[in-house]
Structure 1
Amino acid sequence: MKQSLLEVKGLRVAFGDKEVVHGIDFQIDQGEKLALVGESGSGKTVTALSLLRLAQNADVTGVANFAGEEGGAARDLLALPESKLRGIRGKEIAMIFQEPMTALNALYPVGDQIAEVLELHQALSARAAHEAAVQLLADTGIPEPARRARAFPHQLSGGQRQRAMIAMALACRPRLLLADEPTTALDVTVRAQILDLLTDLQRRYGMAVLLITHDLNLVRRFADRVAVMENGHLIEHGAVATVFDAPRHPYTRKLIDSRPQRDVAPVTARQAEPVLAAKSLRVIYPVPRPGFAGWFRKGEFVAVRGADFRIAPGETLGVVGESGSGKSTLALAALGLLKHQGELDVAGRRWNAGGASDRALRRVMQVVFQDPFSSLSPRMTVEQIVGEGLTVHAPELDAAARRTRSLDVLGQVGLTEAQFPALLDRYPHEFSGGQRQRLAVARALIVDPKLLVLDEPTSALDVTIQKQVLGLLQRLQRERGLSYLLITHDVEVIRAMAHQVIVMKDGAILESGPVGQVLDAPGHPYTQKLVAAALAD
């Protein structure tokens, strides 16, 4: 019989007079993988953070006994002094945070941040720690790990930042890994690599894993047991096969049934003037050259290689590929935020003409970013965030008219004052992840654009909220005749949303065409690999 590594009894977490976790019990055995699932706001992340007392301003009660090393006495994590707990964090219990852009320090290269953990807990020299950090990055599948170790977080793609976080968490070979959405930003092929890596390390070192996730396919593939949370209560738990094959609670059945559903209208204006068209689009980044030659001239990194595409009114073009394939760079170029070569026309007009011409085009095309937590200013109210575009593109409106327009568009995305009293005066942190994404959609819609660039719009959302947001986007497309440029690594989202799809790798378009043709009968080996990985997942 396995020894219990962590035993949690009566865990309660409250913020002020509001209790968000209501006396839950669970345990994790040595070498076991337990998945904690539930919607945004269910309390699963707060539960994990509370075990290491990382939930700020939280009142945490209960018992969390963590077994000592080599048969030592168990320690109650919730009762340990901070000095003792600091020695456990990162060494015996490590955590992979959900949002790497906010968890990583923007002022230091990622290699230095990983090396710092090794120097602190394993007393390695600076050189040895750096070499180990490079190897950890290589183990998580990051290409050119030595170069990436010198990069700052903003210089990495979303998937690469997530892999850097995983490397940092695994640095000291912890006995328990708290993994909060560890594969959220990863494409399907890299997700499989990371799962295989975690599984291999877990078996090799007897590491236990508490996996917090909204991805039920991930749970099926990775976990031994699953515990389901709703509104701070643990409502069902058991072996993965038992819970998935015969769920007892209606909420569990709701989660299992929440797969993206296709509900898009056919495109009737395919021959009309495209909302967005690109021809031979190239994006090149300058990069340092090694040695003496770098003093005089920089090298080049071609991020997008001669892309051709067009998006008709009311059409969705899906762009799929692995992290670093160039799909987000393509989106930034389409938005006029990166210098590019080739032709790029928005509603029949050329980008980068300068001045008022570009400003007018920005009203035609708006963007919804991958991570609403970092794309919404924490210092601005909902009224300021949503209404900001009107101050630029509709300066003739007074404050009362902007307020009315803001409430109207918020209602269109499913946020009303009946649900949220004083809605316009609230701040982003007062909303769940799915609600923040609705705010981001409202901010984009308020200037009546013709096209939305959707950069991984559902990657950070649980399955039920993902289904709701995709349904919202499908409804808005039908009602407004919107076009979408959809950037994602999720093949299922492409199936549900796109009319046309292009597949990218290393900056090049490998395959393109109608979504059914490309995904049901892929011609390129790389597309076949993506589709096969999605089916296996």
Structure 2
Amino acid sequence: MTVPLLQVTDLSVAFGPKTVADGVGFSIAPGEKLALVGESGSGKTVTALALLGLLHGARVAGQALFNDGQRTRDLLALPERELRGLRGGDIAMIFQEPMTALNPLMPVGEQIAEVLRLKRALSPAQSAQEAIELLAKTGIPEPARRAGAYPHQLSGGQRQRAMIAMALACQPKLLLADEPTTALDVSLRGQILDLLGGLQRENGMAILLITHDLNLVRRFAGRVAVMQHGQLVEQGATAQIFAAPQHPYTQKLMASKPERDLVEAPPAPGETPALAAQALRVVYPTPLAGIRGWFKKGEFVALQGADFAIAPGRTLGVIGESGSGKSTLAQAALGLLPRPLVSGQVQVAGQRWQLKAAADKPLRRVAQVVFQDPFSSLSPRMTVEEVVGEGLRVHAPELAAPQRAARVRAALTEVGLEEKQFPNLLARYPHEFSGGQRQRIALARALIIQPQLLVLDEPTSALDVTIQKQVLALLQRFQKERSLSYLLITHDVDVVRAMAHDVIVLKDGAVVESGSAAQVLGTPQHPYTQKLLAAA
């Protein structure tokens, strides 16, 4: 029998009195692909982090035997110095939230090159060139230029691909991939899976894939292990688990899919749109090479000539590949871009952004946003009460502290977070919650001031299928009860099918197709839209 590359036995993880992983056991053979699935907070990521000694303040017990072909070592018993040598070398990890994992003060190419210099002793010139080649392999356009970009200058998907390039830099024997395609659109998901599969066959690399995307699991993994409340409840071959799941929880996961429950009536004639844009264009200045750059700047057109309107109580879905201009459109719609970059017209509830803090304050209450990455959008120094109640302090300063706290509790209860589930909830900090729970906090923060328009930038990309279904049902209920309007930006076609009344498709900053959701998703006319739907 082949000796397992990794054999985990009776792994348990506890923080204080709370046990978050209990009796976890699985094995991974060289070159095997194992998927670890389960709801947000089930212990998937904690299990992976425990293997690399990245859980500070946790009590970790059990055994994790790693056999690199020469010797066997217990990862849970290794001293920090020896474990540090394994991290990024024989064992690499792709983290779920690239904006917090990447250094904001270094270009992404330099961060990848640093790994190559430290782990493979390449020269600065060699490491810089290989960093560009790794970025190219992950599908980033213009890799030489993007290598010089800082994390905040890349889209969410591009940041995730930079993380993947960094993890693969040293050709690891074991890759721990924590939601490696979460921020990627459907076509790029396929590219990344093909890339990982090719590297696995080429190098004999094993992959522990942590994900909530069951379609991805079906396509990619050879075996599946299902976690619930910190315990493995079922594991086996992928085909077997999908064909005949035995545990009730696994059956529930397989049955989870977004459902459409919307008010389908057309908008009333003459109604003022919650959001409208005419000829919306966003252009960023870029440096020109050579002597020309001394006298003038080039242009990068991120969005060109977009026209759309969202009536009260309706949802406009915006789909397109990473870097197509979706997030730029959202920033322009929210009045977050300086005037020199933006031309055309944007109106929220019939009023234009003045791009002045005092003048735009009333509109800030009307339009709120839920960002793609809740960890970076929630202040780590503020408690949940301060985070969710911040909008009330700005827009309802007349409320006393007890009234604000009551409103915060009510908002959190509406999104499914209660004191009985999380003792001392209001005094906790964002890092004490899972990714899905943080997104619920972000949603509560946006809804607490009762806006008319929500801009949803990939609102469920970090959520597992069951929680995604719950959050979408919650958004649908809020829309019906409050006549909320949504600008929904996503790469998940199932989410668009469930949520959108109308759809626009973006490619390279241009709207290539628009219309009702039934029309665009049912009978797409543009080849690019057809490609996106086929990849989904």
**Are 2:50 and 1:61 aligned?**
no
In structure 2, distance between residues paired with 1:281 and 1:289: 25
Equivalent residue, structure 2, for 1:42: 42
In structure 2, distance between residues paired with 1:523 and 1:363: 38
Equivalent residue, structure 2, for 1:211: 209
In structure 1, distance between residues paired with 2:71 and 2:373: 42
SS at match of 2:495: helix
Per the alignment, do residues 268 and 409 of structure 1 end up closer, same or farther by CA in structure 2, a change over 3 Å counting? farther
On the 8 A contact 1:181/1:213 being kept in 2, the answer is: yes
**Residues 85-164 of structure 1: matches in 2 within 5 Å?**
85-164=83-162
2:245 to 247, 265, 272: 247
In structure 2, distance between residues paired with 1:398 and 1:158: 38
- Deviation, structure 1 residue 54: 1.2
Equivalent residue, structure 2, for 1:283: 282
On the 8 A contact 2:68/2:173 being kept in 1, the answer is: no
**Are 2:5 and 1:5 aligned?**
yes
In structure 1, distance between residues paired with 2:173 and 2:333: 46
In structure 2, distance between residues paired with 1:364 and 1:407: 22
1:233 to 231, 234, 239: 231
Equivalent residue, structure 1, for 2:526: 524
Equivalent residue, structure 2, for 1:493: 495
On the 8 A contact 1:270/1:313 being kept in 2, the answer is: no
- Deviation, structure 1 residue 428: 1.7
- Deviation, structure 1 residue 268: 4.2
- Deviation, structure 1 residue 84: 1.7
In structure 2, distance between residues paired with 1:417 and 1:177: 37
On the 8 A contact 1:286/1:299 being kept in 2, the answer is: yes
- Deviation, structure 1 residue 94: 0.7
- In structure 1, give the amino acid aligned to 2:184: L
In structure 2, distance between residues paired with 1:421 and 1:119: 46
Per the alignment, do residues 410 and 86 of structure 1 end up closer, same or farther by CA in structure 2, a change over 3 Å counting? closer
Per the alignment, do residues 225 and 476 of structure 1 end up closer, same or farther by CA in structure 2, a change over 3 Å counting? same
- In structure 1, give the amino acid aligned to 2:450: D
In structure 2, distance between residues paired with 1:279 and 1:265: 26
1:406 to 408, 412, 415: 408
Q: Give deviations 1:513-537, integer Å, cap 9, x for gaps.
A: 0001101100000000000000xxx
1:471 to 473, 491, 502: 473
- Deviation, structure 1 residue 424: 2.3
- In structure 2, give the amino acid aligned to 1:473: L
In structure 2, distance between residues paired with 1:30 and 1:434: 32
Equivalent residue, structure 2, for 1:309: 308
- In structure 2, give the amino acid aligned to 1:438: R
In structure 2, distance between residues paired with 1:422 and 1:119: 46
On the 8 A contact 1:267/1:314 being kept in 2, the answer is: no
Equivalent residue, structure 2, for 1:395: 397
SS at match of 1:284: strand
- In structure 2, give the amino acid aligned to 1:15: F
Q: Give deviations 1:486-505, integer Å, cap 9, x for gaps.
A: 00011110001000000001
In structure 1, distance between residues paired with 2:345 and 2:436: 36
SS at match of 2:368: strand
In structure 2, distance between residues paired with 1:27 and 1:216: 21
TM-score (normalizing by structure 1): 0.97
Equivalent residue, structure 1, for 2:324: 325
SS at match of 1:150: coil
In structure 1, distance between residues paired with 2:421 and 2:54: 30
**Residues 351-362 of structure 1: matches in 2 within 5 Å?**
351-352=353-354, 354-362=356-364
- In structure 2, give the amino acid aligned to 1:491: V
On the 8 A contact 2:317/2:503 being kept in 1, the answer is: yes
Q: Which runs of 4+ in 1 moved over 4 A?
A: none
On the 8 A contact 1:281/1:342 being kept in 2, the answer is: yes
Q: Give deviations 1:307-346, integer Å, cap 9, x for gaps.
A: 0000000000000000000010000000000131001111
On the 8 A contact 1:227/1:236 being kept in 2, the answer is: yes
- Deviation, structure 1 residue 11: 1.2
On the 8 A contact 1:267/1:315 being kept in 2, the answer is: no
- Deviation, structure 1 residue 249: 0.2
Equivalent residue, structure 2, for 1:386: 388
Equivalent residue, structure 2, for 1:26: 26
Q: Provide the aligned length of Structure 1 versus Structure 2.
A: 532
On the 8 A contact 1:95/1:178 being kept in 2, the answer is: yes
In structure 2, distance between residues paired with 1:533 and 1:128: 36
For structure 1, the 5+ residue unaligned runs are none
SS at match of 2:71: coil
In structure 2, distance between residues paired with 1:413 and 1:57: 29
**Residues 402-441 of structure 1: matches in 2 within 5 Å?**
402-441=404-443
In structure 2, distance between residues paired with 1:389 and 1:46: 32
In structure 2, distance between residues paired with 1:219 and 1:106: 31
On the 8 A contact 2:36/2:209 being kept in 1, the answer is: yes
Per the alignment, do residues 418 and 294 of structure 1 end up closer, same or farther by CA in structure 2, a change over 3 Å counting? same
On the 8 A contact 1:106/1:152 being kept in 2, the answer is: yes
In structure 1, distance between residues paired with 2:213 and 2:134: 25
On the 8 A contact 2:259/2:469 being kept in 1, the answer is: yes
**Are 2:532 and 1:533 aligned?**
no
Equivalent residue, structure 2, for 1:484: 486
In structure 1, distance between residues paired with 2:415 and 2:8: 39
Percent identical residues: 70
On the 8 A contact 1:40/1:433 being kept in 2, the answer is: yes
On the 8 A contact 2:315/2:485 being kept in 1, the answer is: yes
SS at match of 2:46: helix
2:188 to 187, 190, 198: 190
Equivalent residue, structure 2, for 1:14: 14
In structure 1, distance between residues paired with 2:178 and 2:75: 19
Q: CA RMSD in A?
A: 1.3
On the 8 A contact 1:428/1:436 being kept in 2, the answer is: yes
- Stretch of structure 1 that moved more, 133-142 or 5-14: 5-14
- Stretch of structure 1 that moved more, 412-421 or 500-509: 412-421
SS at match of 1:406: helix
- Deviation, structure 1 residue 408: 2.5
On the 8 A contact 1:202/1:208 being kept in 2, the answer is: yes
In structure 1, distance between residues paired with 2:357 and 2:135: 43
Q: Give deviations 1:138-193, integer Å, cap 9, x for gaps.
A: 00000000000001111100000000000001111111111000000000000000
Per the alignment, do residues 218 and 520 of structure 1 end up closer, same or farther by CA in structure 2, a change over 3 Å counting? same
Q: Give deviations 1:77-128, integer Å, cap 9, x for gaps.
A: 1122222222211111111111100011111110111011111111110000
- In structure 2, give the amino acid aligned to 1:175: K
In structure 1, distance between residues paired with 2:436 and 2:233: 22
- In structure 2, give the amino acid aligned to 1:449: P
In structure 2, distance between residues paired with 1:117 and 1:376: 29
SS at match of 1:78: helix
- In structure 1, give the amino acid aligned to 2:318: V
